[in-house]
Amino acid sequence: MKKTIKKILLYSLGTFLFLVLVLAVHIYFVYRPAPNANTRVMARIDIKQPISQDDANKITSWMAHEKGIDHAVVNAQNRNVVFTFFPLKTTGDRVTQDLKSNFALKAERFVPSGEQMKSGCPVASTSYAYKIYKVISNII
């Protein structure tokens, strides 16, 4: 009788651990989906020289006509360009290179450091889905 109970508990524990592993892998892949035609990414380009509001308007107009760019905002005071784009049509690096060549600007794409990425969106870090993802990613 004890042998049967031990066997049942062992199989139950094994099945439970297997299902937890399957769930963890599922959450990992769902949380990091591959980009599709509706995926939009936000990026920023820092301009390393002064620009006027007229220059900012020209850049905004140019970006509105570029393939794959959804929306762009240029701040002449802060000298940066924030834009959203479709990653299946273009990349942030390509947009940066095209902007530099078309306007002869000293500019570079802003890429956050590892520390800045860790302290990313304050809303995401308080969500339950994010907390579960972090626990699972630390285990894996």
CATH number, domain with residue 92: 3.30.70.100
For 75-134, what is each residue's pLDDT tens digit? 999 999 999 999 999 999 999 999 999 999 999 999 888 777 776 665 566 667 777 777
* Number of folded domains that form the chain: 2
Q: Which domain holds residue 85?
A: 41-115
pTM score above 0.75: no
Same domain, residue pair 111 and 130: no
Same domain, residue pair 85 and 106: yes
39: left (phi over 0), alpha (psi -120 to 50) or beta: beta
Packed helices 92-103 and 53-64: angle between N→C axes, nearest 10 degrees: 130
Q: Residue 87 carries which DSSP code? A: T
Same domain, residue pair 15 and 64: no
Same domain, residue pair 132 and 92: no
For 40-86, what is each residue's pLDDT tens digit? 999 999 999 999 999 999 999 999 999 999 999 999 999 999 999 99
Same domain, residue pair 50 and 17: no
Same domain, residue pair 45 and 31: no
